[in-house]
Amino acid sequence: QVQLVESGGGSVQAGGSMSLSCQASGLNFDDRAMAWFRQGLGEEREGVACIKWNNRSTWYGDSVQGRFTISRDNTKKTVLLQMNNLKPEDTGIFYCAAHFSSSCSSWWRDQERYSDWGRGTPVTVAS
């Protein structure tokens, strides 16, 4: 049984930093690209970042480029999202997701390409 468990969410002031973690189990973690998605209140879920299986390629959403960094540790089966210079519009539920394949590709924002999802962790950025 695949499990993706997010942690690290909470509240922070605008301009602050926060780090999210996703612990994976029950899957061949080394074979899967991993991603973070965000869903704001009343909004559709959108892609934040994606990382290839070997840590060598990453993709980011336009709104987080230069502020967020995705990384992974295949020995620990974890994927991290370091978020800096947070803005109120970053507020939402952050979800960890496992891609069907080992690479994100240009279609990494397509949620149909992800077979497993965590339950999410909330992030609130106060202005």
Q: What is the pLDDT of residues 40-80, one digit of tens each?
A: 999 999 999 999 999 889 999 999 999 999 999 999 999 99
Confidence band, pLDDT 50/70/90 cuts, at residue 28: very high
pLDDT at 24: 98
What average pLDDT score do residues 4-19 get?
Answer: 98
* pLDDT over threshold 90, residue 105: no
Which structure tokens are listed for 101?
A: 């394949």
Q: What is the pLDDT of residue 33?
A: 97
pLDDT value at position 93?
A: 98
Q: Give long-range contacts, CB 8 A cutoff, 24+ apart: 61-68.
A: 61/109, 63/89, 63/90, 64/90
